[in-house]
Structure 1
Amino acid sequence: MSNSPVSGEVQQQLFHWPVAPYLSVENDAPIVQLWVADGVDATQVFVRAEPDNEEFLVPMTVVSQQPGWKLYQAELPVNPAEATTVYCFKVLTSSGQLWLDAAGESPYMPMREQQFKLLLDVQPPSWVPQQVFYQIFVERFCNGDPSTDMAKGAYQQRDSGVAIAKEWGEPISPESKNREFYGGDLAGVTSKLDYLQSLGVTALYLNPVFTSPSVHKYDIEDYENVDPCFGGNQALADLTESLHQRGMKVLLDAVFNHASDTHPWFNRWGTQDSVGAYQGKESPYFDYYTFMDPENPDSDFCWQGSKVIPVLNLGHPELKAYFFDAPDSITRRWMQPPYNIDGWRVDVIHMMGEGPHADNNAKVLGQMREAIKETNPEGYFLGEHFFENTRWTQGEIEDGAMNYYGFALPVRAFLANQDVNYHPHQLSAEQLSQWLTQTRSRTPYANQLCQLNLLDTHDTARFFTMLKEDEALMRLAVVLLMTYPGVPCLYYGDEIGLTGENDPYNRACFIWDETEWNTPLWQHYQQMIQLRQQTSALQTGGYQTVYAKQDGFAFVRFDQSNTVLIAINRNATEPLVIDLPEWLALLPSGAAAWQVSVGAASQAATQLSVPPSGFVVMQR
C-alpha cells in the first residue's frame, strides 16, 4: 500500500511553539509569538490567559511577515498564584473563529489541560535534556570484582529457596529466576565506562543497588548499605566519582513503597535481630505497615499480592523522617558526599502513600521532591509510570516520568503491533501521531523534554524480540528514540542486539565477546547518539508533525540555529513520498537546502521520498 503525498500532510494555519523565540522571557515578562496564514483572513488575534483564573484576552500585533504569513506578538500575563500559566490563541476571522492550543487547531475554546503551559518559578533540571541515559541491571552487566561474588553467602532461605551461583552467560532457569547470581557488580560498571562513552552514553540509571535477598533488589532489607555482592558502599562511591570525573551523571532506584519481608522492620522469617511487625503489635515497627487483621501477621498489605514485599505506610512520621524529612534521610544521604548521586528514579511512584492505597500521594511525593531539591536544586526527580502520567508531570511533583505511555507504548503499537499487555494492537501513523500529540500537549514542554523515553526495560520484553528481530524496524525505533522530544534511555545490551522475552529472559548477562554482537545495530545506535549529541535542536528544540499517514511518519525539531526533519517509513515494499509543506519556511534556516545527516532519501524541490523500511534525518 503506497502512501499519498498529500492527505497525510499537516495543513495547519496557526503555529506557535513553546520554545524561543516563539516563547521567551524578557525582564520577567513572557513574550509569545504566533504565525498566522494569510488564508485565515484574520480580523483580530489574541493570546488568551487566566492570570487570576479568569479569562484575559490580550490583543496581538504584527511584528514580521513572510510570503503568505504574518507573525503576531504580545506579552503574556502570568498567573502569580500558581506555578503554571496556561495560555492559548484565539483568532477572529471574517467567517468565524480559529483557536490554537498545544494539541493543534480547533474551532472552539480548548480545555485547560491541553493549553500551552509556562513554568516560571518551577523548572526541571537544566542538564537532563542533553543526556543519553543507559539503564543497567547491575547483576547482569559485568563482573568487575569476583571477590564479591555471593558476598553474603547463601542468601536467607525463604519460600523461594536459597541463592544459586552461576557462571557468566549460563542460561537462566525460570523456576529460580530471582535466585540466580552471575556476579555483576558496581566495579563491573566502573570498568566499562570507556565502553559506554564510546557508545555515546552520558548518564546511567541503575536498578536498585541496596542490600537485598534477590537478583532484582526491589525487595530491600537495608537502605543504608549497598549490597555486598555489588561491592558495598565504597564501590558506589568509586563509581560515582569516576562518572563525575568524566562529566557523566547517575540515578539510583528508590524503592520506598515497599521493603523486603527480611527487613528488620518486618522480619517475617525471624532471622533479624529485631522484633519485627510480623512478630505482632508489640513491635515498634508494627505501624510501619498495614494489617487487614491486626491479630494475623499474614494479613499484611503487600504489593500486587507478593508477600515478600509488604507495603510501607509512608504516613508514619518516623518513616517520613527516615526516607525524606531528616537531614540524614535516605533520599538526602545518597545525594551527598561521598556518593553525590544526581537524582532518583522512584519505583511505582504513583502507589506511594499514607496507608496501603496511595492516600495523599501528592503530599508524600512533595516531601520527597523537597528533600531532593533542598539537597541539590538540579537533582532529577523521575517517576515510574507504566500508564498515563501527566497528573504527576505538571512541574510541581516530578521533573519527568519513565515515558511508557507517551512514547514506548505508542511506538510499540506502531512498529511491533502489540499493546502494553502484548495483545495484538496495530496503529496507523495517523493514530500514532494522535497518541503522541495527546500526551505531549498535556505536559509543560520543559517537562516533556525531561520525560525519559525508552523502548524497553527490565519490566518488559526486549524491543528487538517484540519486533521478531527485524533489524530494519529496530533501526526505525532507534531513530524515534533519539529524535523525539524527551531524553532517551537505552536498556543495557539493546545496542548489541540482546534478545529476551519477559522476566527473567530480558535480564540475561551482557555479552562482552564482540564477535557475538550485532555490529551494524551497535553502529546505528552510536551514529544516532552522536547526531543527537551534536544537534541542540534534538535536545531542547521545538516539535511539529509534518506528515502522518498509514506507514509514514515525519516531524521536525528546531531551535534558533537549525531545523531537523525526521521521516520513517514502516512499509517494507513501497517508498514513502511526502510533499514538504510550505510552512517549513517559517522555521530557522527556512531558505537553506536540506542536507541528509543519517539514512537515505531522494529529494526534489519540495518532495521527499524515503525507501521501504527506511528513514532519513535531514538538517538545514
Structure 2
Amino acid sequence: MLFNSRDPRYRFPTGAVEAGRPIHFRITLPRELSCSAARLIVEPENEPAILCDMFWCGMNGEEEEWWECDFTPKKRGLYFYLFEASTCRGVQRLSRGEHGRAIFGGTYRWQLTVYQEGFKTPDWLEGGIMYQIFPDRFYKAGGDKENVPAGRTYHEDWYEQPDWRPNHEGRITNTDFYGGDLQGVREKLPYLKDLGVTCIYLNPVFESHSNHRYDTADYLKIDPLLGSEQDFRELCESARELGIRVMIDGVFSHTGSDSVYFNREGRYEGPGAYNSAESPYYKWYNFRNWPHEYDSWWGFDTLPNVNETEESYNLFVNGEDGVVRRWLRAGASGWRLDVADELPDPFIDHLNEAAKTEDPEALVLGEVWEDASNKSAYGVRRRYLLGGQLDSVMNYPFRDAILGFLLGGDPAAFAEAVENIVENYPRPCLRLLMNHIGTHDTERAITVLGGTPANGRGREWQSGKHLSQREREIGRERLKLAAIMQYILPGVPCIYYGDEAGLEGYRDPFNRACYPWGREDQELIGWYRSLGKMRHEHREILARGGCRVRKAEGNLLVLERFIVRGAEGEDCAFRDSLMLIINRSERPQSILSLSLDLSDAKPVLGENLEGVRVLRPYSCALLKFRKEIQTTP
C-alpha cells in the first residue's frame, strides 16, 4: 500500500483537523523506482498550491522505502492534496483511489477538512438518543379539539388515513388535522424516557395553516391547535427534569402566504407585504410584479421566499429580542434549520451568533442531504461545519448506506459511505450527527425494508398499499438491524415517531400517520428499549470512540467502535471495543470466513455466538471486548 488517508501509519492524525494542527504524512514507494525526491502537493481551495518536500526516512521491509513530511494548515477551509515522486521512470503521481488508498496516476485528490481553532459543539447531546415528533400526529391530550381555526378539517378518528386527494380546485392543501398537541407530548415523556430518549426534535410548532406547519404564519405564537406558549414552556421544563432537551424547527427561508407577514388570504389585520408596498414586511420578499408575482419556494405560491439578507428580517430572526433567542429563553435547547442549503452564509452566521449568545450550549443543526463538508449550493461552496455555523447536520448519507446495504447493495459501498463521512467531518460535528433512517420527508423505514418500492407510483397506489404479513415480518427483522446500526455508528440515533411501533407508510402524507397507541408492535418497542439501555451502558465508546468497518463482504458486515483507556506514562493501556456482526441474508451465514478472534467476546445484544459461528437469517451479534495494549517498548 502506497498511502492510506484513513490509516494513522500514513497520516496522523487522520480525519478533519483543527486549524494550526500539524499533520504527519508518510508514503511508501517500491525500492525499484529509485526515487530521488518526493513532494506533498496541497491545494487550498481557490488559492495557489503549496509544495512540501518529503524526506527519506528508512526502509519498509526489504522492497519498499518510507518518505515523509509535516504540513500545518494555517486557517479553516477545504484543502485537497496528492503526492509526486521523481523516479527512474519519470515523475510519478500518487492520487486517490478507492477507500482512501493511493494509486499511481489518476486525477482524484484527497480532501482535508480544516475547521476553526477552538470549535466546540454542545456536550449535552453527545452519546444521546433523539426522537422526532410530527406534533399533529403523536398524541392529543384531553379529547377532541374545539374552536378549530377556519380552513382546517378535523379527524375525529385518530386511526383514519390522512387526506391525500386534491380538493375541488385540484390542489393538495394539507389542511386535515388530528389534534396532536404539546400537552400530549408532555404526557408521553415517561414513554420517551423509557426508550432512552435525551432530545426531542419537534417539527414546526408555530402558528401555521397546514398540518406540516412549514408555512409559518406567526413566528411569535404557538399554533392554537398545539396549545399555548405556556404549554411549550411546561413541556420543555418537564422534559428537562427527565434529562430530555427539546429542539425546534426553524423555517427561515420562506413564510406562508397566509401569514401575518404576507397576508395574501387576508386572514390578518395587516397590512402584509401582499396588501401594501408600505408594509413593514414588504422588503422581506422579492416581487417581480407586485403583488401577484413573487419568488416562492420551489414554485409553490403558498410559500413566498424571504430575502434573508434584508436587515429588518435578519434583526427579526437573529436580533437580541428576535425569534431565535426568544424561544431559547422559553425553554428550547436548540434549532434545526429547515433547507439549510437555501439560507445564505451570512444569515447562518448571524443565527449561530444569536443562539450561542443566548446559550453557549444551544444546538444549531441543519438539514443537508449530501456530504455537508464539501457541499456546494447555488454555485457557492458552503462552510457549514468549519465553525461558527452548524454544530451538525441530518445524516442522510448514513441513512442511504444502511438501507442500501440491508436491501442487497454492495457492502463495499456501505463501508465507503461511512468511512468517507468519518474522514471528512470535524470530530465536534461527527459526535452529534443526527442519524435517522426515516423522517417526515421519506418513506417509513419498515415500508422501505419490507415492501414493494413505490418507483414513482402516485398517491392513489400508495394509499391502498400495505405490507403483507410476510413483507411485514421481513421489514421488522431488517428494521431491527437498521436500528442497531443507527445506534452503533458515530453520531446520535434519531427515531422517527412510530418507527419503533411498526408504523408503515409510503411518502407524504402516508409517512405522517398518527402514532398507533394501543396497536403498537411491542416486540419492536422492546428492541428499541434494549438499544437505549445498551447505548447508555456503553456511552463513552459510542460517543467518543473510533469507528471502522472491519469487514464488508457478501451478506456479512462487521462494524467496530473502540476507545483506548490508560493514563499517560503507564506501561499498558486497555482497548475497549464493541463489535457488531450482521447477517442481512434470508439464510444462515457462517462467520468463519471473517477470521475474527472471538475468544474474549462478551455478548451484549442479539445472537450469542459462544461455541457457535453461524448467524441466523436477518440477525446480528453485538459483542464487547477488552484487550491489554503495551504502550512502552
Residue type of the alignment partner of 2:306: L
- Once residues 235 and 140 of structure 1 are traced to their aligned partners in structure 2, the CA distance between those partners, rounded to angstroms, is 17
In the alignment, structure 1 residue 415 sits paired with structure 2 residue 406: yes
The aligned residue for residue 616 of structure 1 is 621
Matches within 5 A, 1:159-558: 162-175=152-165, 178-294=174-290, 297-324=291-318, 326-336=319-329, 338-339=330-331, 341-352=332-343, 361-390=344-373, 391=375, 392=382, 393-396=384-387, 397-404=389-396, 406-416=397-407, 427-468=409-450, 469=472, 470-513=475-518, 516-535=519-538, 536-558=540-562
- Once residues 236 and 532 of structure 2 are traced to their aligned partners in structure 1, the CA distance between those partners, rounded to angstroms, is 23
Q: CA deviation at 1:288?
A: 1.4
Task: Sort the Cα spacing of 1:117 and 1:271 in 2 relative to 1 into closer, same or farther, 3 A.
Answer: closer
- Once residues 537 and 47 of structure 1 are traced to their aligned partners in structure 2, the CA distance between those partners, rounded to angstroms, is 34
Q: CA deviation at 1:279?
A: 2.2
Greater CA drift, 298-307 or 32-41: 32-41
CA displacement, residues 295-347 of structure 1 (integer Å, 9 cap, x when unaligned): xx2212211222222111112111011011x20111111112x42x1110011
Q: CA deviation at 1:435?
A: 2.9
Q: CA deviation at 1:523?
A: 1.3
Where structure 2 has 5 or more consecutive residues not aligned to the other structure, the ranges are 168-172, 376-381, 451-471, 566-575, 626-633
The aligned residue for residue 587 of structure 1 is none
Correspondent of 2:600 among 585, 593, 615:
593
CA displacement, residues 236-267 of structure 1 (integer Å, 9 cap, x when unaligned): 10011112222221110001111111212211
- TM-score normalised according to structure 1 size: 0.79
Residue type of the alignment partner of 1:320: N
- Once residues 211 and 369 of structure 2 are traced to their aligned partners in structure 1, the CA distance between those partners, rounded to angstroms, is 22
Greater CA drift, 203-212 or 87-96: 87-96
- Once residues 527 and 40 of structure 1 are traced to their aligned partners in structure 2, the CA distance between those partners, rounded to angstroms, is 54
Q: CA deviation at 1:221?
A: 0.8
Q: Is the 8 A contact 1:456 1:462 kept in 2?
A: yes
Structure scoring higher RCO (CA < 8 A, sep ≥ 6) equals 1
Correspondent of 1:155 among 142, 149, 157:
149
Q: Is the 8 A contact 1:253 1:344 kept in 2?
A: yes
Q: Is the 8 A contact 2:41 2:50 kept in 1?
A: no
Residue type of the alignment partner of 1:348: V
Greater CA drift, 499-508 or 277-286: 277-286
CA displacement, residues 129-157 of structure 1 (integer Å, 9 cap, x when unaligned): 3110000111111112448x24xx34343
The aligned residue for residue 142 of structure 1 is 139
Residue type of the alignment partner of 1:616: A
In the alignment, structure 1 residue 54 sits paired with structure 2 residue 50: yes
Q: What SS does the corresponding residue of 2:141 show, helix, strand or coil?
A: coil
In the alignment, structure 1 residue 565 sits paired with structure 2 residue 547: no
- Once residues 428 and 595 of structure 2 are traced to their aligned partners in structure 1, the CA distance between those partners, rounded to angstroms, is 27
Q: CA deviation at 1:568?
A: 1.4
Q: CA deviation at 1:77?
A: 5.8
The sequence identity of aligned pairs, in percent, is 27
The aligned residue for residue 379 of structure 2 is none
Correspondent of 1:575 among 589, 594, 601:
589
- Once residues 42 and 592 of structure 2 are traced to their aligned partners in structure 1, the CA distance between those partners, rounded to angstroms, is 36
Q: CA deviation at 1:61?
A: 8.9
Q: Is the 8 A contact 1:496 1:519 kept in 2?
A: yes
Q: CA deviation at 1:444?
A: 2.2
Task: Sort the Cα spacing of 1:467 and 1:313 in 2 relative to 1 into closer, same or farther, 3 A.
Answer: same
Q: Is the 8 A contact 2:588 2:615 kept in 1?
A: no
- Once residues 38 and 608 of structure 1 are traced to their aligned partners in structure 2, the CA distance between those partners, rounded to angstroms, is 40
Task: Sort the Cα spacing of 1:384 and 1:23 in 2 relative to 1 into closer, same or farther, 3 A.
Answer: closer
Task: Sort the Cα spacing of 1:59 and 1:413 in 2 relative to 1 into closer, same or farther, 3 A.
Answer: same
Q: CA deviation at 1:434?
A: 2.5
Task: Sort the Cα spacing of 1:311 and 1:24 in 2 relative to 1 into closer, same or farther, 3 A.
Answer: closer
Q: What SS does the corresponding residue of 1:292 show, helix, strand or coil?
A: strand
CA displacement, residues 430-465 of structure 1 (integer Å, 9 cap, x when unaligned): 222223333443322332222211011111111111
Greater CA drift, 279-288 or 308-317: 279-288
Greater CA drift, 133-142 or 460-469: 460-469
How many residues end up aligned between the 2 structures?
563
CA displacement, residues 25-63 of structure 1 (integer Å, 9 cap, x when unaligned): 9xx98577899999999x99999989997344687999x
Residue type of the alignment partner of 2:234: D
Q: What SS does the corresponding residue of 1:441 show, helix, strand or coil?
A: helix
Q: What SS does the corresponding residue of 1:466 show, helix, strand or coil?
A: helix
- Once residues 129 and 94 of structure 1 are traced to their aligned partners in structure 2, the CA distance between those partners, rounded to angstroms, is 52
- Once residues 608 and 395 of structure 1 are traced to their aligned partners in structure 2, the CA distance between those partners, rounded to angstroms, is 45
- Once residues 39 and 594 of structure 1 are traced to their aligned partners in structure 2, the CA distance between those partners, rounded to angstroms, is 39
Q: What SS does the corresponding residue of 1:307 show, helix, strand or coil?
A: coil
- Once residues 373 and 90 of structure 1 are traced to their aligned partners in structure 2, the CA distance between those partners, rounded to angstroms, is 44
Q: Is the 8 A contact 1:85 1:118 kept in 2?
A: no
Task: Sort the Cα spacing of 1:373 and 1:39 in 2 relative to 1 into closer, same or farther, 3 A.
Answer: farther
- Once residues 603 and 115 of structure 1 are traced to their aligned partners in structure 2, the CA distance between those partners, rounded to angstroms, is 42
Task: Sort the Cα spacing of 1:37 and 1:288 in 2 relative to 1 into closer, same or farther, 3 A.
Answer: closer
Q: CA deviation at 1:593?
A: 1.6
Q: CA deviation at 1:481?
A: 0.8
Q: What SS does the corresponding residue of 1:166 show, helix, strand or coil?
A: coil
- Once residues 185 and 7 of structure 2 are traced to their aligned partners in structure 1, the CA distance between those partners, rounded to angstroms, is 44
CA displacement, residues 368-406 of structure 1 (integer Å, 9 cap, x when unaligned): 1221222222221111123443335433322211111x1
Q: CA deviation at 1:204?
A: 0.6
In the alignment, structure 1 residue 130 sits paired with structure 2 residue 159: no
Task: Sort the Cα spacing of 1:141 and 1:83 in 2 relative to 1 into closer, same or farther, 3 A.
Answer: same
- Once residues 87 and 214 of structure 1 are traced to their aligned partners in structure 2, the CA distance between those partners, rounded to angstroms, is 49
The aligned residue for residue 465 of structure 2 is none
Q: Is the 8 A contact 1:90 1:100 kept in 2?
A: no
Q: Is the 8 A contact 1:546 1:581 kept in 2?
A: no
- Once residues 94 and 616 of structure 1 are traced to their aligned partners in structure 2, the CA distance between those partners, rounded to angstroms, is 51
Q: What SS does the corresponding residue of 1:474 show, helix, strand or coil?
A: helix
Task: Sort the Cα spacing of 1:97 and 1:288 in 2 relative to 1 into closer, same or farther, 3 A.
Answer: closer
Q: Is the 8 A contact 1:542 1:557 kept in 2?
A: yes
Q: What SS does the corresponding residue of 1:489 show, helix, strand or coil?
A: strand
